[in-house]
Structure 1
Amino acid sequence: MQVRFDGSFDDWRDRARGLLQTGVAPHQVEWLGKGELGGLFGESVAPEPIKPRPPIRIPRPLLVELESAARFRTADRWSLLYRILWRVAKGDRTARLVGDADGSELHARIKAVRREAHHMHAFLRFSPTDRGSASGYVAWFEPAHDILISAAPHFAERMGLHSWMIATPDDAVLWDGQVMHYANPCPPTWRELAQTAQDPGGELWKTYYESTFNPARLNRDVLQTNLPVRFWKNLPEGPLIPQLMSRARAGAQRDGQAERVATRPGKRIERPGQA
């Protein structure tokens, strides 16, 4: 059975409730979000229940977990959610637990979504714009999961009445100082504005970043874990990182300062334990 919906969690939830009410098992459903193509067979509609069934009550905490996991981008995201929903509705509460195969995957996806939201909060860079846009600041970000609409309020809380816009390859949000506007797909004009904005303070920031970089404390694995390589291209300091890492490997790690600091007159600071 192919079930088409608009790709949102709210629409999926409504259709999932209907399928539960009619007794359609998870293995009978193929979920087709917006723009997705199904198999060779045509769509079919869930059968009407032969007799009225009691309403299905879903624990609120489970819905919160499912909504969070729904932001994880993978081909079977909706199938997993419905399977867990089906099991819990049938009385199997272990479907939500980490010790269960489905529950373990559910919580792994929730964790990945939360981490991606953290990445967005940490690595997104706004640039001022004066090109007649409704937003005073713009930013381009490429998230691995669908976290924009849930992560964006973080910036509204911190930027007060300033207007801003965040564009991604898929969607975008515009904060006008009072109301959050969401667009899916991202309007081409918003995408172009976010990708071409220039930060006048960018060069100053790169100078500061290079000067404070400590080659003696460089740990490549830790750096790439906390600042994944995929984000470097959209950060002002991104092009500097490979150069600074290369210098450190070439011998700069003997100093506790960046090269421009280490060569200045004054007392030399050696690495701990170095003669």
Structure 2
Amino acid sequence: MPPWIIRLESPDDWGGFRLAARHLLAHRVPAHAVRWITDQGTATADGNNDLFTAAAGDDAAIAPHEVELRLLEAGSCRATDTPPIALSRLAMQTCAQASLHADPDRFELLYRWLTRVSAGTVDAGDPLDGDWIRIARAARAVQREIHKMRAFVRFKPLTRAQLLPPLYIAWFEPAHHVVRANADFFVRRFTGMHWAILTPQLGLRWNGETLEEVSDCRPDQLPAADAGEALWLTYYQSTFNPARLKPQAMLREMPRRYWKNLPEARLIPQLEASARQTTDEMLRVKPGLGARADQS
């Protein structure tokens, strides 16, 4: 077992990772001597727990703010001949986003790359470095998931007593640890609403003034469908254009794993079938229409 076990507060604790990594790098602690775990068990969209969750027997783990003191107590000395790493803003942002990926090796990957940059064996701007390619790929996946969460959250109103405004509740299953990263967006976007976004990871609740986190979130906490949802489905169906149906492009923008939590998704098979039927009827009336459309 590595001699240094760092316990982060949560699977998206980028700040804790940065603090611990800064001290570890200053003392030239190699990547193979560090293990990263988290206090908060976080379920991903497939229902599996994050492999960084602290397990029994990890009593030797230390918090990021304890790292410097423990290193000094162990007799380690700061390296005075190596300046601190100076990363560009883009590189720092990429690392921060990669730390939100569901890959259980993400913190190990990030720290290994940082040790190599610190040692001068790789340039921080080298786009062909294997570790950096993985980091950049992870950051892009997180960026996509942040966007998908913003696009695919669907609120349902819960009527409350005592003259309280409705509470709009949504259920979303992110593939990566993007809930907190999206909190400011939803506060700005729905400032005047009282809302809650529940996920297998954690929940966010906004009362119009303050944002709080909630735990033990389940999809059965959602209200039943109401007239507003029926109206949305009617609108979605009425604006569906069969002439622009492109199933593969639609799946790229709206992967099937999101469908179960999208009310409009249950209309898609019916609308696809109707679109094909409409197209076939048009081609029977004007046989050359399909060829001209392909050429345009």
Q: TM bucket by the smaller chain?
A: 0.7 to 0.9
* Aligned twin of 2:278: 252
Q: Aligned residue for 1:239?
A: 266
In the TM superposition, residue 238 of structure 1 has moved relative to its aligned partner by: 1.1
1:56 aligns with 2:87: no
CA distance in 2, matches of 1:39, 1:128: 41
Contact 2:156–2:223 (8 Å) recurs in 1:
no
Partner residue in 2 for 1:3? 5
Q: Count residues in correspondence.
A: 257
Contact 1:141-1:168 within 8 A present in 2 as well? yes
1:151 partner SS: helix
Instruction: Give the distance between the partners of 1:41 and 1:201, measured in 2 at CA.
Output: 49
Give the distance between the partners of 1:136 and 1:39, measured in 2 at CA.
39
Per-residue deviation at 1:44?
7.5
Q: Which has the higher mean CA deviation after the structures are superposed, 127-136 or 217-226?
A: 127-136
Show the counterpart of 1:129.
Answer: 158
Report if the CA contact (8 A) 2:159-2:165 is conserved: no
The whole-number CA distance in structure 1 between the counterparts of 2:58 and 2:92 is: 31
1:33 corresponds to which residue?
Answer: 38
Separation in 1 of the partners of 2:133 and 2:189? 34
The amino acid across from 1:67 in the alignment is A
Equivalent-residue separation in structure 2 for 1:84 and 1:139 (angstroms): 38
Query: What is residue 74 of structure 1 aligned with on the other side?
Result: 103
Mapped to 2, the partners of 1:135 and 1:29 lie a distance apart of: 48
1:178 matched to which residue of 2?
209
SS at match of 1:245: helix
Question: Would you say the 8 A contact 1:129–1:138 is kept in 2?
Answer: yes
Change (3 A) 1:65 1:207: same
After superposing the two structures, state which structure 1 stretch, 38-47 or 123-132, moved more: 38-47
Structure 1 segments unaligned to the other structure (5+ residues): 257-267
| CA distance in structure 1 between the aligned counterparts of 2:71 and 2:139, rounded to whole angstroms | 33
Q: Matches of 1:73 and 1:30 in 2, distance apart?
A: 16
User: How big is the shift at 1:175?
Assistant: 1.8
For the residues of structure 2 that align with 1:32 and 1:125, how far apart are their CA atoms?
A: 33
Partner Cα distance (2:184, 2:170) in 1: 14
- Per the TM alignment, residue 156 of structure 1 is displaced from its structure 2 partner at its CA by 1.8
Comparing 96-105 with 117-126, greater Cα deviation is found at 96-105
2:47 is matched with none
Cα distance change, pair 196–136 in 1 and its aligned pair in 2 (3 A): closer
**Retained in 2: the 8 A contact 1:138–1:165?**
yes
Contact 1:127 1:138 in 2 (8 A): yes
Inter-partner Cα distance in structure 1 for 2:165 and 2:23: 41
Alpha-carbon separation, structure 2, partners of 1:223 and 1:154: 25
Please provide the CA RMSD for this pair: 3.1
Q: Per-residue deviation at 1:118?
A: 0.9
Which of 196, 200, 207 is 2:223 aligned to? 196
1:219 counterpart residue number: 246
Aligned equivalent of 1:18, options 23, 27, 41: 23
Deviation of 1:33 (Å): 2.0
Distance in 2, matches of 1:39 and 1:108, equals: 32
Q: TM-score, normalised by structure 1?
A: 0.80
Q: Which amino acid aligns with 2:233?
A: K
Match of 1:116 among 140, 145, 148: 145
Give the match for residue 91 of structure 1: 120
CA distance in structure 2 between the partners assigned to 1:58 and 1:3 by the alignment:
25
TM-aligned CA deviation for residue 30 of structure 1: 2.2
What is the deviation of 1:214?
2.2
Work out whether residues 160 and 167 of structure 2, in 8 Å CA contact, stay in contact via their aligned partners in 1.
no
Q: Is the Cα–Cα contact under 8 Å of residues 136 and 163 in structure 1 kept in the other structure?
A: yes
TM-score for the superposition, normalised by structure 2: 0.75
Letter aligned with residue 77 of structure 1: R
Gaps of 5+ in 2: 42-52, 63-69
Q: Which residue of 1 aligns with 2:46?
A: none
Aligned amino acid, residue 252 of structure 1: T
If asked which structure has higher relative contact order (CA below 8 Å, sep 6+), I would say: 2
Q: Residue deviations 1:188-247, cap 9 Å, x none?
A: 4x7543x33534311122122222222232111101001111111111111111222233
Partner Cα distance (1:182, 1:252) in 2? 48
Question: Is 1:139–1:167's contact at 8 Å kept on the other side of the alignment?
Answer: yes
Contact persistence 2:31–2:111 (CA under 8 A):
yes
